[in-house]
Structure 1
Amino acid sequence: MDAWAIWLIIAGILLICEMLSLTFYLLWLSIGALVGAAVAFVAPEAYFWQVVAGCLVAVVLTVFTKPLVRKYRGSKGFRDIGTELIGKQGVVVEPIEEGKNGIVKVGGDTWTATSAAPIGKDELVRVLKRSSTIIEVERWEDIY
């Protein structure tokens, strides 16, 4: 298999992982892999330069887009749904067991959820905090 095809497969896998994680870091790595594929297409035997070009692009994108993202998130009118979730009430769709994730519906969205204590299906919960795609909840009646 040609090196450029391998780079494209890597770029595709990273892009799919990015869509699942929503962090933007894997997007930059995916673009770096695309650059590696372009270099491999032009110079198939220059493996070192393929890796260097891909890494350089990924690092440059990561470094230079961080201030832009910080500026955008700090701008007036930006709403992060994750911070709005904290304190809201939800309903457990799939039970949350000790050491395992469950599913919670908050508003119109469903989220993967964890809890310090097991929570059964259809119980009311309150959102405590949110990471990238998982929320931490507690039983609603434990609050009062």
Structure 2
Amino acid sequence: MELWAVWLIIAGILLVAEMLTLTFYLLWLGVGAAAAAVAAWLMPDSLIVQILAGCVTALVLTFATKSLTSRIQTAKGFTDPIDDLIGKEGVVLEEITFGKRGIVKVGNETWSAFSKQNLPKDEVVLVIARGTTIVEVQKRGGNK
């Protein structure tokens, strides 16, 4: 198999993994692998050039995106839609016990969740805090 095809397969796997995680960590690695595929197509005998093309592309995109997103997040009027989760009600889909995460449905989305309370399946809960990928919940009307 041609090396450019291997790079494209790696890029595809990384891009699919990114779609499943929604973190943007794998996106630029996938684009870097695609750049390495282009380098492999243009210069099939130079593995070093291919690796450098992929690494440089991923690094440049990562650093360029970091400054762009920090400017957007500090702009006047910016609100993170995920912050709107706090105070919303949800339903426990997978039991939550103290020290063990469960799954909660809030609106049309499912979230990993933890609680300082034991919460059985189908319990109606209130979101009291959120992280990047996990929410903290408590029984509706309960104390923290």
TM over 0.5: yes
Choose between structure 1 and 2 for higher RCO, CA contacts under 8 A separated by at least 6 residues.
1
After superposition, the C-alpha distances for 1:7-44 in whole angstroms (9 at most, x for unaligned) are 11111111112112222221111111100010011112
- Partner of residue 59, structure 1: 59
CA distance in 1, matches of 2:24, 2:37: 20
Q: Percent identity?
A: 51
1:74 aligns with: 74
Task: Please give the TM-score of this superposition, normalised by the length of structure 1.
Answer: 0.85
Counterpart position of 1:84 = 84
Q: Where is the helix percentage greater, Structure 1 or Structure 2?
A: 1
For 1:2 and 1:132, locate their aligned partners in 2 and report how far apart those are by CA, in whole Å.
39
- In structure 2, C-alpha distance between the alignment counterparts of 1:44 and 1:118, rounded to whole Å: 58
Once the two structures are superposed, residues 94-141 of structure 1 have per-residue CA deviations (whole angstroms, 9 ceiling, x without a partner) of: 322455442212233322323344311121222233333332323334
AA aligned opposite 1:130: R
Bigger CA drift: 2-11 or 86-95? 86-95
Structure 1: give runs of 5+ residues left out of the alignment.
none
Q: 1:130 to 1:17 in 2, by over 3 A?
A: farther
> For residues 17 and 117 of structure 1, what CA distance do their matches in structure 2 show?
33
Q: How far apart are the structure 2 equivalents of 1:19 and 1:98?
A: 30
What is the TM-score with the length of structure 2 in the denominator? Answer: 0.85
In the other structure, the counterpart of 1:46 is: 46
**Is it true that 1:15 corresponds to 2:15 in the alignment?**
yes
Q: Which moved more, 1:125-134 or 1:19-28?
A: 125-134
Looking at structure 2, the residues matched to 39 and 32 of structure 1 have their Cα atoms a distance apart, in angstroms, of 10
Q: Which amino acid aligns with 1:102?
A: G
How far, CA to CA, are the matches of 1:12 and 1:29 in structure 2? 10
